Amino acid sequence: MSGKIHHRGPLRPEDFENLNMGVILTGYLGKMKKHYNETYQRRFVVLTYKAMHWFEREEGYDLFGKEQNHIQICDIVKCVPWEHEEKKHFDVLSKDGFLRRFVADDEAHAVKWVRAITGVMDSLAHAIVHRLSIS
């Protein structure tokens, strides 16, 4: 085609099926319980090109553990640091308006996670635009 982008409506998970879905980042984060009561559950988090998954996992366990939940990258609206005095918290907001709040061990790790998540979001958007422009 002539490099024209054809809009097909909202992005769907099947739009991403043929993209590389490798693991980008893993590590432990605190995941705030519902109702934002400042109580965090320690979760092993896995970021891929397709989704962000969090697992209940014991330290030293070789596998991911029991998955508690996940969010598709295509459903993330934004990932931003949370304005908190410790600078180690960040929020992931989804299309459905649900806010997920995470806390890293320190500010450097929080920045690393925010950059990784937003980087994957940007890469995915670029890949979709490229794919749509050549189809």
Domain ranges of the chain: 21-134
Compute, in degrees rounded to 10, the torsion defined by CA atoms 79, 56, 40, 81: -10
The model's confidence at residue 7, banded by pLDDT at 50, 70 and 90, is very low
- Per residue in 8-63, pLDDT (tens digit) is 444 455 555 555 558 899 999 999 877 666 788 999 999 998 999 999 877 766 67
Pull the structure tokens for residue 98.
């649900």
Work out the average pLDDT over 92-114. Answer: 94
pTM of the model: 0.75
> Does the domain at residues 21-134 carry the CATH identifier 2.30.29.30?
yes
As a whole number of angstroms, the distance between CA 56 and CA 60 comes to 12
- Burial tier of 113 (Cβ tally within 10 Å: 0-12, 13-18, 19+): buried
- Number of Cα atoms under 13 Å in the Cβ half of residue 51: 12
